[in-house]
């Protein structure tokens, strides 16, 4: 991993660490900055395995959330479990040929199914209590050093994954530490943003045989378009207007209502 990649991962995690909104945190993390740098520095092509790598990113956060929140594992041990799941998925994906179009159709269908399940679960779940978003006790310079060292270590591990290095959760390992009190909500928002990452990889794939610059431009354009569609404000359905009922007379001072005025009969 180059020093520029280490600095980029450090910058992404630092930005996430100072953002208070979980939704904005998830969007900043979903920006394909590490993917772009990995494609520029490694020369790997985008094909079907990289699309399944986006699934691996989601499995990473789900694993960390389950092991840390439900099983009460320490966050660093939960991070290692998430990386192990991603590495195992990568080994299986790289062992067999994965056609791009089949992977694209499968990942989009899986994303749509996940969104349906998340909406049903959110509708059936009771109102959640506000998440504890307190900052940890580390001073800003100390936190920056920790992020930098963590980015260096995860970068060294990511280089062992060949083509799957493009989607390796470089900053995800450290972002999970920063968002450890809001992992479930963060995972839901990131899952929704994953469609934009699929768009980025698809745009890059179809133009990667022309020029690297044009392929990256197409990838970022696809990411921007899908992100805009995902985050456009939705109009709530208008409530039906109340139907006019029969006229009622104002109540008398004694409490009984006056009789309704009689309408003239039709002649």
pLDDT at 134: 47
| CB of 45 closer than 8 Å to CB of 172 | no
Our measurement of the distance from residue 144's CA atom to the centroid of its chain's CA atoms, rounded to an integer in Å, reads 24
Q: How many CB atoms lie within 10 A of CB 68?
A: 24
| Residue 22: exposure state from Cβ atoms within 10 A (0-12, 13-18, ≥19) | buried
Res. 213 pLDDT band, cuts 50 70 90: very high
Q: How many CB atoms lie within 10 A of CB 21?
A: 11
pLDDT at 171: 81
pLDDT above 80 for 231: yes
pLDDT at 210: 93
Q: Exposure pattern of 106-135 as b/e (b: 16+ CB <10 Å)?
A: ebeebbeebeeeeeeeeeeeeeeeeeeeee
pLDDT above 80 for 255: no
Res. 223 pLDDT band, cuts 50 70 90: very high
Cβ contacts of residue 131 below 8 Å, gap of 6+? 22, 181, 182, 185
Q: What angle do CA 166, 171, 176 make, to 5 degrees?
A: 130
Q: Which run of H or E residues covers position 179?
A: none
Which range is least confidently modeled, 31-45, 80-94, 138-152? 138-152
Which range is least confidently modeled, 19-33, 190-204, 207-221, 240-254? 240-254
- DSSP class of 166: G
* Helix 22-30 and helix 183-207, axial crossing angle in degrees, nearest 10: 30
Average pLDDT over residues 204-225: 96
pLDDT above 50 for 37: yes
| CB of 12 closer than 8 Å to CB of 31 | yes
**Percentage of the residues of the chain whose pLDDT score is greater than 70:** 76
- DSSP class of 180: G
- What's the mean pLDDT when you consider all of the chain? 82
Average pLDDT over residues 125-138: 51
pLDDT above 80 for 184: yes
* Cα end-to-end span (Å), the chain: 94
C-alpha–C-alpha distance, residues 21 and 46, integer Å: 32
**pLDDT tens, 1-36?**
567 777 777 788 788 878 888 999 999 999 999 899
């Amino acid at each position: 991993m180059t020093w520029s990649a280490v600095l980029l991962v450090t910058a992404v995690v630092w930005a996430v660490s100072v953002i208070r909104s979980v939704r904005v945190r998830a969007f900043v993390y979903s920006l394909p900055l590490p993917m772009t740098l990995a494609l520029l520095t490694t020369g790997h092509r985008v094909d079907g395995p990289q699309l399944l790598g986006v699934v691996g990113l989601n499995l990473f956060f789900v694993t960390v959330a389950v092991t840390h929140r439900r099983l009460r594992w320490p966050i660093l041990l939960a991070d290692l479990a998430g990386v192990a799941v991603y590495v195992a998925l990568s080994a299986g994906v790289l062992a067999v040929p994965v056609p791009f179009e089949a992977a694209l159709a499968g990942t989009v269908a899986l994303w749509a199914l996940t969104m349906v399940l998340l909406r049903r679960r959110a509708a059936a779940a009771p109102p959640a209590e506000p998440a504890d978003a307190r900052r940890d006790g580390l001073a800003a310079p100390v936190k920056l050093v920790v992020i930098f060292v963590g980015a260096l270590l995860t970068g060294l591990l990511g280089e062992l994954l060949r083509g799957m290095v493009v989607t390796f959760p470089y900053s995800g390992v450290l972002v999970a530490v920063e968002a450890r009190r809001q992992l479930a909500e963060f995972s839901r928002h990131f899952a929704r943003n994953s469609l934009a990452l699929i768009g980025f990889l698809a745009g890059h794939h179809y133009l990667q045989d022309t020029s690297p610059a044009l392929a990256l431009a197409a990838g970022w354009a696809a990411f921007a378009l899908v992100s805009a569609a995902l985050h456009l404000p939705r109009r709530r359905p208008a409530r039906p207007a109340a139907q006019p009922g029969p006229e009622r007379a104002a109540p008398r001072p004694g409490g009984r209502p006056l009789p309704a005025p009689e309408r003239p009969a039709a002649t």
